[in-house]
A and B are shown apart, each in its own frame.
Chain A
Amino acid sequence: MEKPSWTPIVLSGAIPREATDLLAILVMGIVALETSLATIGPPAFNSRLLLSLLVVPPTCALASVSTTTRRTREELALFAYGGSAWQILLRYFFRGAIIALAAFSPIILQGIIATASVFGLILLVIALFLAGGLFYSLPSLRRIRSSSFVENYKS
């Protein structure tokens, strides 16, 4: 008889393969890329900002999927109370939008103080609002539309 080994448990789960792992890699990768580019030379403000904006979709999606169990309970309750799918989506869309806007508030404030182009500032706010809202609410949409969603009402 072979001696029991602990390695299969470690090795079978050591390689990141979940969607949340990928999202975490993406977020850290973008931040790392930005940092390494900054060491090469001072990039233009816009190119650095665009790079920072790339962090919004994966971070919002990560925040949304990392609490799937709790979120599913919320969605089930809201449906049971008579809420509709679009109301639930809007709830998460606005939450995601607020998260993105709050996170980028230093840049928005800097833009206001520096009296940067109003058009550019509005564009930035719209981009943050849409990207944050969309990527935070998409996992919810996927869950609600899944055929296994209502199975959660059964014990």
Chain B
Amino acid sequence: MPSMIETRSVVVEYPSVRGVLRLYDQGVSLKLDQGDFLAVLGGSGWGKSTLVNVVLGLEKPIHGSVTFRDHDVTRESFVKRCSLVKTAAVFQRPTALPQMTVSQNLHLALSLAGVPRKERDERIKEALAFFGLDKIERSYPDGLSAGQRRRIDLARALAVKPELLVIDEPTGDLDGSATNLLIPLLRGLNRNQGTTIFMTTALPRQASQAKHQVHLRQPMVLTPENRMIGD
């Protein structure tokens, strides 16, 4: 059975004032099978979010390849990747549409994901209640706190019921109680619904909750610890 996602020797470069900045000099190779829960652990500025963008097709590597279910998607868009593996992404920075209410944001995301109209209301109600957003479902994101906006993103991603959930620093902007809820929720999703999870974090304690971990180490080279290829 093919891997759900595989990156092989991925290298990313950025132009910077001091020349070209190369991330993952040795190349990132990792593999994610259906039902996996992988945590990428690394410090701030070590390339965790870039790796998320590479997996989602928002940034293209200069070397290496990315495959989704054995299809080479290195040069393909996020939309194309979603057609191969139903994917939902939660980024570090909240992304809710400012001119739509919390509930309308979720409706839009579900309709783009092709969820039938009659199912949407139920799923949205569940997701809003779970993240404690039911009382502010008619509020606009701009009037909410960073933590609440983060929860909107999480509710939106989980309401889609994705095969693959890509989540960049899941507990950033969340308060203690929401943080304590989230990681068990992700584990439950992974265990009970078989959702494959790709998560980045700077917190070793959080990473240890995942089934597998890879550690990014300075100078932005991914060192194999688990689930690496060619090792």
**In the complex, chain A residues 68-96 whose Cβ is within 8 Å of any chain B Cβ:** 70, 73-74, 76-85
Q: Which residues of B contact A45 (CB under 8 A)?
A: none
Q: Which residues of B contact A154 (CB under 8 A)?
A: 49-50, 91-93, 168
Q: Which residues of A contact B92 (CB under 8 A)?
A: 153-155
Q: Which residues of B contact A74 (CB under 8 A)?
A: 97-99
A82-B79 contact given A150-B59, A153-B58, CB 8 Å threshold: yes
In the assembled complex, B229 has its CB within 8 A of some CB on chain A: no
Q: Which residues of B contact A79 (CB under 8 A)?
A: 58, 78
Q: Closest chain B residue to A152 by CB distance?
A: B93
Interface of B is mostly: mixed
Contact across chains for A150 and B82 when beta carbons are under 8 A apart: no
In the assembled complex, B156 has its CB within 8 A of some CB on chain A: yes
Q: A12 to chain B: closest CB distance in Å?
A: 22
| Tally of B interface residues using CB under 8 Å | 31
**In the complex, chain B residues 64-111 whose Cβ is within 8 Å of any chain A Cβ:** 77-79, 82, 88-93, 95-99, 105, 108-109
| Tally of A interface residues using CB under 8 Å | 18
In the assembled complex, B224 has its CB within 8 A of some CB on chain A: no
A149 and B172 CA atoms in complex are apart in Å by 21
Q: Please give the residue numbers on chain B whose beta carbons come within 8 Å of chain A beta carbons, in ascending order.
A: 49-50, 52-53, 58-59, 77-79, 82, 88-93, 95-99, 105, 108-109, 112-113, 153, 156, 168-169, 172
Besides A83-B112, A155-B169, 20 other A-B contacts (C-beta < 8 A)? A73-B97, A77-B95, A78-B97, A79-B58, A80-B89, A80-B91, A81-B112, A81-B156, A82-B109, A84-B79, A150-B59, A153-B49, A153-B91, A153-B93, A153-B95, A154-B50, A154-B92, A154-B93, A155-B92, A155-B93
